[in-house]
Structure 1
Amino acid sequence: MAANDVLTRDQIDTELAALPDWTLGLGALRTVLKCPTSASALDLFAAIGALAQTANHHPDVDWRYDHLFVTLTSHDAGSKVSARDTSLAGAISARAKEAGAVARPELLHTVEIAIDTDDADAIADTWQTALGYRTAADGALVDPFGRGPSVWFQKTSTPNDNRFHLDVTVPYSQSARTLSGLESAGASLDHGAAPRFVVATDVQGNRLCVCTEKGRDA
C-alpha cells in the first residue's frame, strides 16, 4: 500500500475493537507483550521481524528481558496510523498468542518533554543541536531512532518560572489508576482538559500532564 492508506480516528477505533492488545497513543499503535521467558521474548522478537519483512513495514521493538515494547506507525505518511499498521498489529498479536505472551497495557507510558516559551524559534536550534534530533511536521523535536523522549514547545505569552514539564501519555483505560496514585502521592489535579490531559502539580509546584488518546486526533 502507498502512504495514502492513513486511517481516520473513527476507523482506528473500529480497528482497535478487534485488536484488544493494542492502544493508540501519539500517532502510533502501541502494546507491551510479556513473554514466558527471556528466551521466548527473543524468539517472538525474531518472529515480529520476519512478519515485518514480509509486510515491508517495520515496527519499533524494544526488548527488556521478558517484555517487548512494540510501536507501529507509518513514517512515510507523516507518522500516522495506516491500514498497514493495523494489519501488522493483528499478525503480531496472533504470533504473540502462539508464543504464550500476554499484553500488559498498564506498562505503556510514553514521555515527552514540554518547554513553555513565547518564542520557540529562538531556542529550537539549541535543543536540536544538543540532542541530535530532527524537527517533526508539528515543530516538535524527535529522536530519529525513537530512543529518547520528544521535546515540544508550548506557545504561551506568560511562561511559568518553571518552564519545563513532562507529558506522560498512558492508555485512557489505565489513566484512572495513574491519577489515583498521583493524588495518593500528594499531587493536586486539574481536570479542566480531561480526558485529553490532566495537569498534576506536586507539593513543590512542579507540574506534569497525564495525557490519553481520548479527545485527540489520529
Structure 2
Amino acid sequence: MDDQQQLTSAQLAEAGLDDWRPLLGRLKARFRTGDPATGYALANAIGQAATAAAHYPDLTITGTAVVVALTSPEGITGRDVQLAREISRRAEQLGVTSDAGGITQLELGLDTAANSRLAPYYAALLGGEVTHGEPVDPSGQVPTVWWQEPDDSGGPVLPAQPFEQRWHFDVWVAPDEGERRLQAVLAAGGRLVSDAAAPSYWVVEDADGNRSCICTPAGR
C-alpha cells in the first residue's frame, strides 16, 4: 500500500479499518472514552504514535469521546491507514471501544452565482481565509462553505419549492450509515424529496420545506 498515493474506495474497504470511515478525503474515527481522564490518556497515546510516524491527526476531545481525523496532502494514503491501525491498537490497549456509527461531517452549501464576491465576506465572518474560492477555517472550528449555482447541482431535477431557499446542509456520513440516517430523519418528521442519486445522496426536507442532503462517498 503506497504511503504517498491516494487510495481508492475499494482499497480502503479492503484495508479492514473497522473503527474508521472515509469522509470528505479524511479517515475519521470516534472512540468512546466515557470520561475526561481516559480521553486525555488516549489523546496522549495518539500523540506518541503520531510523533513516531511524523504524521499528525486532528483530534477533538469531549468529556466522553475522542474524534480523530487523518489525511495527507494527496488524500487518504497508506500512511494514514498505518497510523489508523496503530491508533486503534492503542485504544484497545486502554480498553477504549470505537463507535463508527454516526460519524458525521457537515458542509454548508450556498446557492449563489456570486461566489467570488461573497467568499471574502464569509471568510472574514467565520474567521478563516479564502482557499480555492471557498471560505476555509484552518483551525477546523467551523464547517467549510461551498457554492452551488442555482439550478446547477448536476443531480436529479427536484420538485419546485414555493419559496426561495439559499442555504442548505450537506451532512456527510459513511456509506453504511446513509440509510440509517435517512430513516432517523423520516422518523423525526422529515420528508424524502428525492432518492434518485442514492447512495451518493438523498435530498430531504423539514416540515417547513427547507432542504438538506444526506451524503456518502458511495457511487462517486
Q: What TM-score, normalized to structure 1?
A: 0.88
The aligned counterpart of 2:44 is 46
Question: Structure 1: any 5+ residue segments left out of the alignment?
Answer: none
Opposite residue 110 of structure 1, the aligned amino acid is: Q
Instruction: Give yes or no for the alignment of 1:20 onto 2:14.
Output: no
2:141 aligned residue: 147
Of the candidates 134, 155, 167, which is equivalent to residue 164 of structure 1? 167
Where does 1:180-199 land on structure 2 (aligned, <5 Å)? 180-189=183-192, 190-199=194-203
- TM-score normalised over the length of structure 2: 0.87
| Counterpart mapping for 1:1-218 below 5 A | 4-15=4-15, 18-74=16-72, 76-77=73-74, 80-137=75-132, 139-157=133-151, 161-189=164-192, 190-216=194-220
Q: Which amino acid aligns with 2:164?
A: D
Secondary structure in structure 2 of the residue aligned to 1:107: coil
| Displacement of 1:173 | 1.4
Higher helix fraction: Structure 1 or Structure 2? 1
Distance, in Å, in 2 between the alignment partners of 1:210 and 1:107 is 12
1:215 CA drift (Å): 1.8
After superposition, the C-alpha distances for 1:60-118 in whole angstroms (9 at most, x for unaligned) are 010111200110011x33xx111111110000000011111111112312111100012
Segment of structure 1 superposing worse, 111-120 or 169-178: 169-178
Q: Matches of 2:181 and 2:4 in 1, distance apart? A: 36
% identical equivalent positions = 33
CA contact (8 A) 2:3 2:79 kept: no
Paired residue type of 1:148: V
**Superposition deviation, residue 158 in structure 1:** 7.4
Tell me how many residue pairs correspond in the alignment.
Answer: 209
SS of aligned partner of 1:50: helix
Alignment partners' CA distance in 1, 2:179 and 2:115:
33
Asked whether the equivalents of residues 30 and 72 of structure 1 are also in contact (C-alpha less than 8 Å), the reply is yes
**Distance of aligned partners of 1:124 and 1:85 in 2 relative to their CA distance in 1, 3 Å threshold:** same
What is the CA-CA distance between 1:175 and the residue it aligns to? 2.0
Give the superposition deviation at 1:181. Answer: 1.6
Gaps of 5+ in 2: 154-162
C-alpha displacement at 1:44, in angstroms? 0.8
Q: 1:200 & 1:119 partners in 2: Cα distance?
A: 25
